[in-house]
Amino acid sequence: MKTTPNPVLHGIRRLLLFVFVGLATARVDAQDPGHAVLEVQAQRFEAMVRSDIRRLEELLSPDLVYTHTSGSTESKAEFLTTLRSGRLSYLSITPSDQVVRILGEVAVSAGRSAMRINSQGREQAFAIRYLEVYARRDGVWLLIAWQSTRLPDEQ
């Protein structure tokens, strides 16, 4: 005898699965908040490569201080204007050697990254070391500071 699937029971099973997955994810982040910071960083890097200004507006703190490898510093508004103008575009960002330290509502992340950019019409590829600071505001990690140093070309 073949039974007909019960759509209500099927819906309840799906809901329970989503709740379980959500709780498991929340528990991982609660146990390792550094993971949540790295996820926000990955989203930010992806938005930079895609030139997704709307997403970057959500991920960057209003009081952002963004220091480029050249030493020039921009506010959030200036950084987004630079990206909108096309004077600077990120072609790829590949982070490595990432370390995150959580200090209450602040996270400090350091690492390396292989960068490919187009700066004023000139494509460049280089490696950097970076230090970034996030603040958790209303449960969301926002980038408040970025400092990068260009590494010498490897020989």
- Report the candidate in 112, 106, 152 with the shortest Cα–Cα distance to residue 131: 112
Q: Does residue 75 or residue 6 have the better pLDDT?
A: 75
DSSP single-letter state for residue 71: S
SS3 state of residue 37: helix
Task: Please check whether residue 148 is in contact with residue 71, taking contact to mean a CB–CB distance below 8 angstroms.
Answer: no
Query: Under a CB-based contact definition with an 8 Å cutoff, are residues 60 and 143 in contact?
Result: yes
| Inter-residue contact 35 to 28 (CB < 8 Å) | yes
Q: How confident is the model at residue 4 (pLDDT cuts 50, 70, 90)?
A: low
pLDDT in tens, 70-127: 999 999 999 999 999 999 999 999 999 999 999 999 999 999 999 999 998 999 999 9
- Identify whether the C-beta of residue 87 lies closer than 8 Å to the C-beta of residue 119: yes
Question: CA-CA distance, 123 to 138, in Å (whole number)?
Answer: 38
Which sequence spans correspond to the domains of the chain?
Answer: 7-150
pTM of the model: 0.77
pLDDT of residue 154: 67
Higher pLDDT, 23 or 94: 94
Out of 3.40.50.300, 3.30.1490.190, 3.10.450.50, 3.50.50.60, which CATH number does the structure's domain 7-150 have?
Answer: 3.10.450.50
Strand 88-103 and strand 122-137: pairing? unpaired
pLDDT of residue 125: 96
How confident is the model at residue 149, as a pLDDT? 97
